[in-house]
Amino acid sequence: MEYAYHPVIRFYPKSFASPQRTKTRRQPRRRSIMKHRPTAFLFLILCIALTTGCWDREELSDRVFDLAASTDLNKDGTYLTAGQFIIPSRIEQSSKGGTGGEKPYFIETGSGKSPLEAIQKARQKLSRIITRSHRRNYYIGEDLAKHGIKDMLDAFSRDPGNRIRMDIWVVKGNTGLEALQVPYPLEKVPAVASLKIHKAVGGTSGTSYLDFMIASSTEGSCPTLPVVDIVQGDSSQRTIRFYGRAIFNHDYKLAGYLNFVEGAYRQWILKRISYLDVEENIPEAGGSVGVIVTNFGSKLKSRISSENKVKMEIELSGVGHVSENNTNLDLRGQKNLKLVQNTINKKTSEHVLEMVTKVQKQYGADVLGFNEALNRQHPREWNKIKGQWDTIFQDIKVTVNVKVNLKSVGLVGPPLQFKEGDINK
């Protein structure tokens, strides 16, 4: 029996190509890629060469770094500007343990009829281009602050070289140049001392310039700046001390000061504080108790009557840790702890209200955020009265309620300086 042979015929779609044809089609494409590869490589090398290098030709050796500056008003009405500049070679010697007592910085000044002219006069004495990207502090003398800093801020805000995260300080009772000249033993360059002191006492850093500009452009708000003064230390050497806050009016003129504690209460209202030391006398126990307050909270509740009479309720909260007990109370007992807590809350509420009244009656400047709270909570009513806010602010009826919860009494309950029989348990 014979079998017929039937060949298998396979049909391929047009979209498919046989292996032989596929191989022949890919070869020209590979040759094309290999042909352009040297050109692409040369183009890459050219890009690397163009993107590296110094186009403005300002090398580090041609720059001088300004860490702090100041502006003052001379008696003849001209401006005096000064800068505190780093000497890199002396910074390097100091980091390697070198001695010699030479300062790693120097101060240069310039005077002129305007802040810009004063800066130009200072530049004429420098062999390098001023770089302000590392500037941390800017000091304003008290005379200039009273005269007004509008012109200085205008030139300041137009210069892109000035950092937005910078602190501007008012030097109470002195000049900005004096603040630059005061040495500080803990820092190689004294320019950073004010900033670190402010942080060490629970304040914020790198925000005063930005906060000032925001408050200046907000309806009803008045700006503030942190304050330092120059005091005599334990030795004959003078030192810088953080004092509080400076209040400016709408004309950018200094209206007055809040001292350290008053400024801390204001920062508490605005939730811009990290900790605060509070010490109050406890009459029932014949002594005082010191508390460190943390975890701050703040709420502003506003009400407006039909006669446009505004009432503001301030609620402040925090967590307290007993740091000092000069009474005969054993604070491990809930009764004694409640007594101390209620006394501290009551007296702190009175102190905060005194600060608010001072701001209202003496300065007439809303630096407490009342306008913003009113705008959020009563936007329609705010649009009606915002043009008269400076007058209304002075007559606002304010109530303050402080609630500090004492969580810790320290490692010991009763004070160690009392005998067992004298302790009130």
In the chain, what are the domain boundaries?
A: 60-258, 260-425
CATH superfamily name and code, 260-425: Nutrient germinant receptor protein C, domain 3 (3.30.300.210)
pLDDT given for residue 415 in this prediction: 64
Residues 6+ apart with CB under 8 A from 386: 219, 220, 371, 375
pLDDT given for residue 416 in this prediction: 62
Cβ atoms of 353 and 323 within 8 Å: the answer is no
Q: Which two tokens stand for residue 230?
A: 């120059």
Cβ atoms of 296 and 384 within 8 Å: the answer is no
Q: Is 127 exposed, middle or buried (0-12, 13-18, 19+ CB in 10 A)?
A: exposed
What is the C-alpha separation between 153 and 252, in angstroms, rounded?
A: 9
What is the C-alpha separation between 344 and 277, in angstroms, rounded?
A: 12
Phi, then psi, of 382 in degrees rounded to 5:
-65, -40
Cβ atoms of 68 and 180 within 8 Å: the answer is yes
Q: Which two tokens stand for residue 390?
A: 């400076």
CA 89 to chain centre: 30
Q: How far is CA 199 from CA 192, 263, 271, 322, in A?
A: 11, 14, 15, 22
Characterize the bridge pairing of strands 129-131 and 276-282. unpaired
Question: For each of the chain's 425 residues, which pLDDT tens digit applies?
Answer: 444 444 444 544 444 444 444 444 545 555 555 556 777 777 777 776 666 555 556 666 778 888 899 999 999 999 999 999 888 777 665 555 444 567 888 999 999 999 889 989 999 998 888 878 778 899 999 999 999 998 888 877 887 777 888 899 999 999 999 999 998 888 888 888 998 999 888 888 888 899 999 999 999 999 999 999 999 877 778 899 999 999 999 999 999 999 999 999 999 999 999 989 999 999 988 889 999 999 999 999 999 987 778 999 999 999 999 999 888 888 888 899 999 999 999 999 999 999 999 999 999 999 999 999 999 999 999 999 999 999 999 999 999 999 999 998 876 666 666 655 556 66
pLDDT given for residue 11 in this prediction: 46
What is the C-alpha separation between 288 and 281, in angstroms, rounded?
A: 4
* Residue among 208, 187, 119 nearest 159 (CA): 119
pLDDT given for residue 33 in this prediction: 53
Cβ atoms of 336 and 330 within 8 Å: the answer is yes
Residues 6+ apart with CB under 8 A from 413: 330, 331, 332, 333
Q: pTM higher than 0.75 for the full model? A: yes
Given strand 310-325, what is the order of strands in its sheet? 276-282, 287-304, 310-325, 397-408
What is the C-alpha separation between 131 and 103, in angstroms, rounded?
A: 20
CA 397 to chain centre: 31
Cα angle 179, 182, 185; round to 5? 135
Q: Is 323 exposed, middle or buried (0-12, 13-18, 19+ CB in 10 A)?
A: middle
pLDDT given for residue 44 in this prediction: 76
Cβ atoms of 65 and 187 within 8 Å: the answer is no
Cβ atoms of 166 and 226 within 8 Å: the answer is no
pLDDT given for residue 206 in this prediction: 82
Cβ atoms of 405 and 318 within 8 Å: the answer is yes
What is the C-alpha separation between 197 and 228, in angstroms, rounded?
A: 10
Q: Which two tokens stand for residue 368?
A: 């407490």
pLDDT given for residue 157 in this prediction: 81
pLDDT given for residue 97 in this prediction: 46
